[in-house]
Amino acid sequence: MSYLKLNSLKKTYPNGVTAVKDIDLEIEKGEFVVILGPSGCGKTTTLRMLAGLEEVTNGSIILNGRDITHLPPRQRDISMIFQSYAVWPHMTVAENIAYPLKLRKMDKHTIHSKVQEVARICNILDYLNRYPAQLSGGQRQRVAVARALAVDSKLSLMDEPLSNLDAKLRTSVRTFLKEIHRNTGATTIFVTHDQAEAMALADRIVVMNEGKIEQVGSTREIYNQCGSLFTAQFMGTPPANIQKVSLISNQERLIANDKNAETQFSLDLGNQSAFPGIDRYIGEEIFLAIRPENINISEPKGINETSIEIVEPQGAYTILVTKVFGSEWKIMLEGDIDIRIGQKVSLIIDPGKIMLFDAQSKKRVNFS
Amino acid sequence: MSMRPGKLWSRTVFLLILATIASTVILPILYFLTISFASNYEAYQFPAKIFPTFSYSAQLRYNAEKDSYTLLLKKGSTYEAVKTTQDVSDFSLYCKSQLNVLLSSAAVQELFNKAKNTDHALPIKLKKDFFRNYIVFFILAEGSMCALFNSLKAAGWTILISLILGGVSGYIMARYKFKFSNTFSTSLLVVRMFPAVALSLPLVVYIMKMNLYDTSFALAIVYAVPNIALTAWITSSIFKGISVELEEAAMVFGATRLKTLMTITFPLAFPAIIASSLYAFLAAWNDSITALIMTNNNPTLALLVYRTVGSSTIPNLPAAGAVVLLVPSLIFTFIIKNYINQLWGKVAL
Amino acid sequence: MNRMRRAGFFKSPIWFLVPVIIYYAAFWIRPTISVIIESFTDKSGVFSFANYVRLFSQKSMRTAFLNTILFTLGSAILQFILAFALALWLNKKFRFSNLVLFITLIPMAFPPAAVGILWKTGLYRFGWINSFLCSLGLMNPANPVDWMSFRNLYAVILLIIIDTWTVLPSVMIILLAGLQNFNKEFEEAGWVFGANKFQTLKDIVFPIMKPTIITAMILRMIAAVQVWLIAVMIFGYNVVPFLVERIAYNVDVITFAKYARKDAYTISVIVAAIVLISVSIYLRVSGEKQKGGEIA
C-alpha cells in the first residue's frame, strides 16, 4: 500500500463550481511530486484539501495508513510552505520557527537546538532576531522553508512557493529546495504552474487540467510521451507545434494534409513502417504534434519545403519560425545558426519523435 | 450524500445566532416604528402591538336614558367603552386627538343618527389617519420644519469646513514625511478627547462676539473641530491607498502637481471622500448637546426631539420626530458601508 | 547651498497645514486653555483647587465618576468581545452574510436622540420590552417590571446594553475591515503547523490585527467616557449620574446657579484627563512591542 493515497477526491464549492473532479493518486514515501497545471485547474484546491484547509466534498485521503479526510489541519501531521510564505509578521524569525514546535509541547532546549539546526541549513542564522518586515522576499522564503523543515512532518506541502520571487532567485531557491529534499527525504507535494520548475524538481509530475489529472509520470515521460493533447500543448518552451491534419498514405510514405487550409501544404512524416498500426487512421483526422527541438533543417530537397520567416537567436540555441499548414511552427536548433530570413529550407523530422493524438478523445495514439 | 453530525450541529448553532442577531436588531425597531404610528389611545395599550394598525373595530351605542353616545373599541374579544358624550364636536375632537381618526362633525352626526336608529350597538370601522403623528410633529407643531432646516444647514457647513481643512491635512499626511508628521497626526487624535460640550461653553462667548450666536454656522464651527481630525485621518488612509506611481506617471507625462491632484488623485479618491464627508454630516445631524448650548430660538432637529421627549408623557409624537431624524442617518450610514475597506483598511495608530 | 535649503523650507508641505493649525488654535486650543484656566481659578480669578474640592465633595459627582469608569470599561470589554466575534463570523462569507451585515449595521444609523426614545418606549412599565416578554409568556401581564426604576449598578448595566446595541456595528465594521485586509494564509499557516482555532486566534490573528483593534477601541473609549444623552433621555437628570451628564445638567438645567459654569468647566477637564489617561494606559498595555512594516 502506498504512503499517500487520494481516492476519487472531489471538491464542489457551495456556489456549484466543481474545482476538482475525481482525483486518484498514489504517492510513495520520500517522493517529490509536482502538481502542474494552468491557473484554475484545481491544483491548489487539491493541495488545500490535503492540508485540511478545504473541506472534501467526496472521496478520501489516506496518509500512512490513516484516513485524514475529515481531520482538522493540526491533526494531520503536515507542514506547508505558502505562496505568500505566511511568515507571521509579529514574530521574529526564531519565534516563527519555534511556534509550531511550542505547539507540539517540545521543551525549550530542544526547540532552541532545532531552530539553530534548521536556521543553519537554510542559511538564516544571522536573521534569527529580525522581524519579517526587515527581510527580503528571498529571506522570508527561507524562513518559511525553515519553519516547515523544523517540524518533522509526514508530508510537506508547497503551494507555488517560488512564484513571488524574481527569476534569478527562483532558480537558486529551486536548487536549494531540491538539495533539502535530497537531505531530508521528506515526502513532498509541490504545486506550480511553471513547467520549468516542475521538470527541475519532480520525481514525478502530475499534470492537471480542468479539475482532472491529465497524466502522471516522470519528467521524461511527460515531456516526450505526452499522454494527451493538453500535455503536449502545455509542456515545453516553446510548446510543441500542433496541427489538426488528415493522414494519407502515398507510396509507403505517411503524408499529413490540412484539409481546411488553402495552403496545399503537405508534410511528409516518413516511412509508414515507422508507424505500426497507423492503418486505421489513414484518411482520418488526427492531431499531429512535434516539439521544436525535434525538427531539423536542410537545403531544400523538394519535400517539406518552407521558408524561414523569423530568426530568434538565444545564444545557446536558435529559434526559427516558419509557416507550416499556414500556421507558425517553431524550430529549435542548437548553437548559433547562420540563416537569413526568407531562405528556403526542407524540414527533417524524426518519425520516432512525432506524437499523434486522437481527434475525438485527444488521447495519444499508441503504435505497436 | 449524508450530512456529517458535526455539520448538522454547526448548522443549528449558525441558524440560532442568525435568529438572535436579527431579532435583537429588528424587534426594537419594529416596535418603535409602530409606536411612531400609534394614537394616544394605542400608546396606552398593553401589551403593545408589534405592527401598526390602520383602523379600529368599534361599536357606537346609543344610551336612550341619558341621550348620550358611547364609543366602544375592540380589545381582545370584548369591547371597551372609551368615550361617552352627547356632543358631536366633543366626539370628533376625541377621535382626532386620542385615536388619530379624522371625522367631520357631519360624519359624526350621521353615525349618531344611525346609532340612534338601531336598538343594539352599531358596529363601525374607524379609519386611522396613518401619518397623523408625523403631520402633527412637523406641520402643526411650531418650529419643527425650521429645526429640520437648521440641522441641514449646520451639517452642510460642517462638511464644507471638515473637507477643506481635513482633506488637505490628510493629503499632506499621506504623501509627505516631515519633521512633526507624527506629532501632527497624534494631536489630531487628542483633539477628539476633549468633550465637545466643554468646548462649546467658552466658545459661546467668542461666537457672541462674532455675532454668530444662534446660527447654524456657529454650530458647524464646533462640530468641525473633531471632524477635521477624523476627515484628515480617513482621507490620509484613502490617499495612502492610491499609489504614488499613478501620480508620478501623470507628472512624467507633463502634468503639474496641482493638475495631477485635480485630474488623477482627486477623482480616484472622490467616492471615499464623499463617504468620509458623510461622517461629518452624521456628527452634525446627530448632535444635541452643542446645539443645546449654542442655540436659543433656532434649535436643530435632534435637539427638538430630545426636548419633546422630556416634555411629553406619551412617546408617540417624539417617536415620529425621531423616525424622521433617522431617515437621513440611515441612508448615509449605508452609503458609508460600501467604503469601510477604503476608509478603515489602512487606518492605524 | 544655503539658498536652496531656504527655498526648500518655503516649499515645504507644512505650509498647507497652516489653516488647520490656525483653526485649531482659535477654536480648540484657545477655548481649551480658557476652560483649564477657569477650572483652576475661583470667582475672582485667583488660582485655586476650590472647584475640584467642591465637586468631589458632592456625592453625585463621585457617583458620576465611578459610573463613567464602570460604563467605559464595561462597554469597551463587552463591545470588543461581541464585535470581534461578529466580525470573525461575518468575514466567513456565508450565503446570507451580506444581508446579515446589512441588518447588523442598522442600529449604527440611529442618532443618540432616536436611540433614547426607542429604548425609553421599551423600558417603561407598559413598553414594548414587557409587551414582547408577555407575548412570549415570559412575563405576567398583570405585573410587569418597571425597568426605568432600575438604579445604580443595574441602571449602568442597562445603559451598557443599550449603548452596545447602537455602537456595536461601528466597532465591528472597523474590525471587519481589518479582517478583510488580513492575509488569510497567516491564519492557515497557524492551523497547518498545529494550532487549534483558539490558539490561532490568540497567537496569530489578534497580534497581527492589533493596530486595527487599538484604533477601534480608542475611538470607542473616547466616545464611551462622554456618555450622557441616553442616560438622561431614559432616566432623566440626576438619576444615573455620569461626568458629561453632570456637565449637561449644569448648562441645561441649573444654568444660572452660582457655580454652574465653573462646575461644567472643571468636569470637562476631568473628562479630558480621564480620556487621556485611559488611552495612554491602553496604548502602553496593548503595544509593548512595536513592529515595523506590514506584509502585503
Whether chain C has a CB inside 8 Å of the CB on A163: the answer is no
The pLDDT value given to residue B159: 93
Mean pLDDT for the stretch of residues A155-174: 89
Mean pLDDT for the stretch of residues B255-281: 80
- Is residue C199 pLDDT above 90, yes or no? yes
- Is residue B341 pLDDT above 80, yes or no? no
Residue B319 near residue B32 (C-beta atoms within 8 A): yes
Q: Please tell me which residue, A251 or B85, carries the higher pLDDT value.
A: B85
Q: A155: which residues sit within 8 A by CB, 6+ positions away?
A: A4, A50, A63, A76, A77, A78, A79, A186, A187, A188, A189
- Is residue B185 pLDDT above 70, yes or no? no
Q: A125: which residues sit within 8 A by CB, 6+ positions away?
A: A116, A119
Which of A24-28, B294-298, B330-334, C174-178 is predicted least confidently?
A: B330-334
- Is residue B4 pLDDT above 80, yes or no? no
Whether chain C has a CB inside 8 Å of the CB on A161: the answer is no
Q: A323: which residues sit within 8 A by CB, 6+ positions away?
A: A263, A265, A306, A307, A309, A329
- pLDDT classification of A367: cutoffs 50, 70, 90: low
The pLDDT value given to residue C143: 81
- Is residue C295 pLDDT above 60, yes or no? no
How crowded is residue B348: how many other Cβ atoms within 10 Å of its Cβ? 13
Whether chain C has a CB inside 8 Å of the CB on B139: the answer is no
Measured on CA atoms in the order C183, C184, C187, C188, is the torsion positive or negative? negative
Percent of chain A with pLDDT over 70: 98
Which of A62-76, B144-158, B161-175 is predicted least confidently?
A: B161-175
Each domain of chain A, given as residue ranges in start order, spans: 4-227, 241-295+308-358
Percent of chain A with pLDDT over 90: 52
The pLDDT value given to residue B344: 61
DSSP C47: B
Instruction: List, for residues A90-131, the tens digit of each pLDDT value.
Output: 999 999 999 999 999 999 999 999 999 999 989 899 999 999
How far is the first Cα of chain C from the last one, in angstroms, to the nearest whole number?
40
- Is C132–B31 a contact, with Cβ atoms under 8 angstroms apart? yes
CA–CA separation, C230 and C114 (whole Å): 9
Residue A69 near residue A61 (C-beta atoms within 8 A): yes
Instruction: List, for residues B52-110, the tens digit of each pLDDT value.
Output: 889 999 999 988 888 899 999 988 888 888 899 988 999 999 999 889 999 888 999 99
Nearest CA in chain C to B303: C113
Give, in order, the Cα–Cα distances in Å from C248 to each of B184, C30, C161, C221. 31, 21, 22, 19
The pLDDT value given to residue C293: 36
The pLDDT value given to residue C4: 42
Cell output for A160: 507555488
Whether chain C has a CB inside 8 Å of the CB on A71: the answer is no
The pLDDT value given to residue A80: 93
CA–CA separation, B303 and B98 (whole Å): 26
Nearest CA in chain C to B178: C14
In chain C, which residues have their Cβ closer than 8 Å to the Cβ of B194? 28, 32, 268, 271-272, 275
The pLDDT value given to residue B345: 56
Domains and CATH numbers, chain C: 1-39 (no CATH), 55-286 (1.10.3720.10)
Percent of chain B with pLDDT over 70: 90
The pLDDT value given to residue A201: 92
The chains in contact with chain B, meaning 3 or more Cβ pairs closer than 8 Å, are C
- Is B189–C218 a contact, with Cβ atoms under 8 angstroms apart? yes
Cell output for A252: 509507403
Q: Give the DSSP H/E element, type plus range, for residue C123.
A: helix C112-123
Give me the residues paired with residue C233 across strands.
Answer: none
Nearest CA in chain A to C287: A90
- Is B325–C23 a contact, with Cβ atoms under 8 angstroms apart? no
- Which option is the CATH number for A4-227: 3.40.50.620, 3.40.1280.10, 3.40.50.300, 3.20.20.70? 3.40.50.300
The pLDDT value given to residue C3: 43
The pLDDT value given to residue C10: 56
**Amino acid identity, position A74:** R
The pLDDT value given to residue A262: 67
The pLDDT value given to residue A102: 92
In chain A, which residues have their Cβ closer than 8 Å to the Cβ of C183? 84, 86
Q: What is the mean pLDDT of chain C?
A: 84
- Is residue A156 pLDDT above 90, yes or no? yes
Mean pLDDT for the stretch of residues A249-266: 78
Residue A328 near residue A308 (C-beta atoms within 8 A): no
Instruction: List, for residues C236-274, the tens digit of each pLDDT value.
Output: 888 889 998 988 888 888 878 888 888 888 998 888 888
In chain C, which residues have their Cβ closer than 8 Å to the Cβ of A131? 291-293
C119-128 exposure pattern, b = at least 16 Cβ within 10 A, e = fewer:
bbbbbbebbb
Instruction: List, for residues A216-228, the tens digit of each pLDDT value.
Output: 999 988 988 888 9
CB pairs under 8 A between A and C: 86
Among candidate residues A192, A203, A229, A197, the one with its CA nearest the CA of residue A41: A192
- Is B340–C108 a contact, with Cβ atoms under 8 angstroms apart? no
Mean pLDDT for the stretch of residues A27-50: 93
The pLDDT value given to residue C281: 81
Measured on CA atoms in the order C41, C46, C49, C50, is the torsion positive or negative? negative
In chain C, which residues have their Cβ closer than 8 Å to the Cβ of B309? 113, 116-117, 120, 233
- pLDDT classification of C190: cutoffs 50, 70, 90: very high
Residue A97 near residue A119 (C-beta atoms within 8 A): yes
The pLDDT value given to residue B161: 92
- Is residue C294 pLDDT above 50, yes or no? no
Whether chain C has a CB inside 8 Å of the CB on B28: the answer is yes
How far is the first Cα of chain B from the last one, in angstroms, to the nearest whole number?
50
- Is residue B349 pLDDT above 80, yes or no? no
Whether chain A has a CB inside 8 Å of the CB on C141: the answer is no
Q: A307: which residues sit within 8 A by CB, 6+ positions away?
A: A322, A323, A342, A343, A344, A345
Instruction: List, for residues C61-93, the tens digit of each pLDDT value.
Output: 899 999 999 999 999 999 999 999 999 888 887
- Is B191–C24 a contact, with Cβ atoms under 8 angstroms apart? yes
Mutate to test the interface with A, among C92, C95, C185, C192 (most CBs of A within 10 A): C192
The pLDDT value given to residue A7: 92
Give, in order, the Cα–Cα distances in Å from C101 to each of B22, C150, C168. 10, 33, 12
Tell me, what's the ipTM?
0.82
Residue C86 near residue B305 (C-beta atoms within 8 A): no
Give the three-class secondary structure for A55: coil
Q: B314: which residues sit within 8 A by CB, 6+ positions away?
A: B40, B43, B44
Cell output for A169: 532567485
In chain C, which residues have their Cβ closer than 8 Å to the Cβ of A103? 193-195, 199
Q: B16: which residues sit within 8 A by CB, 6+ positions away?
A: none
Cell numbers 513592529 correspond to C291
Instruction: Please work out, in degrees rounded to the nearest 5, the angle formed at the alpha carbon of residue B196 by the alpha carbons of B195 and B200.
Output: 125
The pLDDT value given to residue A205: 95
Residue A215 near residue A363 (C-beta atoms within 8 A): no
Sheet arrangement for strand A58-63: A18-27, A4-12, A58-63, A66-67
Taking the CA of residue C296 and the nearest CA in chain A, the distance in Å comes to 8
Q: Please tell me which residue, C190 or B198, carries the higher pLDDT value.
A: C190
B138-344, what's its fold?
MetI-like fold (1.10.3720)
Taking the CA of residue A145 and the nearest CA in chain C, the distance in Å comes to 12
Give me the residues paired with residue A321 across strands.
Answer: A310, A330
In chain B, which residues have their Cβ closer than 8 Å to the Cβ of C100? 18, 21-22
Give the three-class secondary structure for B24: helix
Mean pLDDT for the stretch of residues B252-258: 80
- Is residue B12 pLDDT above 60, yes or no? yes
Residue C172 near residue C87 (C-beta atoms within 8 A): yes
- Residues A163-166: contacts with CB under 8 Å, at least 24 apart: A163/A83, A163/A192, A163/A193, A163/A194, A164/A83, A164/A84, A164/A85, A164/A137, A165/A137, A165/A138, A165/A141, A166/A137
Cα C233–chain centre separation: 18
The pLDDT value given to residue A82: 92
Cell output for C236: 432623566
The pLDDT value given to residue A120: 92
Give the best-scoring range by mean pLDDT among A27-36, B14-23, C106-115, C213-222.
A27-36
> Least CB-CB distance to C194: which of A83, A89, A104?
A104
**Amino acid identity, position C288:** E
Instruction: List, for residues A264-318, the tens digit of each pLDDT value.
Output: 778 888 888 888 878 888 888 899 999 999 999 988 887 888 889 999 998 889 9
- Is residue B203 pLDDT above 90, yes or no? no
Instruction: Please work out, in degrees rounded to the nearest 5, the angle formed at the alpha carbon of residue A246 by the alpha carbons of A244 and A249.
Output: 145
> Least CB-CB distance to B198: which of C35, C102, C119?
C35
- Is B332–C109 a contact, with Cβ atoms under 8 angstroms apart? yes
Q: DSSP secondary structure string, B322-344?
A: HHHHHHHHHHHHHHHHTTHHHHH
The pLDDT value given to residue B179: 67
- Is C127–B225 a contact, with Cβ atoms under 8 angstroms apart? no
Q: What is the mean pLDDT of chain A?
A: 89
Report the residue count for chain C. 296
Whether chain C has a CB inside 8 Å of the CB on A87: the answer is yes
- Is C291–A89 a contact, with Cβ atoms under 8 angstroms apart? yes
CA–CA separation, B161 and B152 (whole Å): 14
Mean pLDDT for the stretch of residues A22-39: 93
Taking the CA of residue C190 and the nearest CA in chain B, the distance in Å comes to 22
CA–CA separation, A167 and B185 (whole Å): 41
Which of A32-36, C133-137, C187-191 is predicted least confidently?
A: C133-137
Each domain of chain B, given as residue ranges in start order, spans: 1-53, 55-129, 138-344
